Amino acid sequence: MNEYVNRAYRLLHRQDDLVFFQLLVKETDLDIGIPRARLNQELFDGARQAVMAVRSQLEQYILKDENFRRALEPRTPQPGAPAIVLSMAMAGQAAGTGPMAAVAGAIAQHIGEYLARRTREVIVENGGDIFMRTERVRRIGIFAGPSTFTNRLALEIEPHRTPLGICTSSGTVGHSLSLGCADAMVVLAPSAALADAVATAAGNLVHNESDLQSAVDFALGVKSVTGALAIKNDKLAAAGNIKLAPM
């Protein structure tokens, strides 16, 4: 029996002009939004095949390099590693984390890029980590667990900033490994893999409200990160190219 996971937070990134569908392949659970006119069986089947292929590449690599999956620090991949492994390793090296800290963002990025070759509007969400390409201004709600900002605050994303990764790490929500206590650590970067790894690393720095600014500063210190937001209880810190708006 599969463990039930509450995905109510997905309502915060849904858009009225897009149709959303789910792709579930083993542990990968994607929420994908595209224009209704672009959704057909061929696109759905192609996206599913892309998920299966990228998962297979990662799984086969880990069989040869089991420490890649266990590492909590940056790890250099073996020669001939597939692109998904290289993107995860590069993100981990930039953030100072193990490569698996970037896995959700890397898969979202991979599938998002696949779909972006077929439609100009696409959102791919994977466990709170988002790849977005858009031609209109969009608002993405922030889920921060018990914080008073949940369901009240959104990121406003301008189309010229996309493709964009919008990734969230939390020490109070979900099952992903976090060594911190942030209700939400949100990082924006052109690469969703990078945003994912940096969100994890920055979130690890938050143990109380006084750590929020230092976590944001750390995230902005990583090359290519464009914005960061940290939330704990009723306090937040934000910096970089980031625009907040009410829900």
Which CATH number do you get for residue 138? Answer: 3.10.520.10
Radius of gyration of the chain (CA): 17
2 part of a folded domain:
no
101 part of a folded domain:
yes
Structure tokens at 117: 């070759």
Residues in the chain, pLDDT under 50: 1-5
What are the phi and psi torsion angles at 218 (to 5°)? -60, -50
Return the pLDDT at 158: 97
Range of the domain at 42: 8-246
213 part of a folded domain:
yes
Return the pLDDT at 151: 87
Q: How many domains does the chain have?
A: 1
Return the pLDDT at 177: 56
Is there a contact between 176 and 203 (Cβ–Cβ < 8 Å)? no
Token match 């696949």: residue? 114
Return the pLDDT at 14: 82
Return the pLDDT at 169: 93
3 part of a folded domain:
no
Return the pLDDT at 1: 31
Contacting residues for 97 by C-beta, under 8 A, at least 6 apart: 72, 73, 74, 91, 197, 200, 201
Return the pLDDT at 174: 56
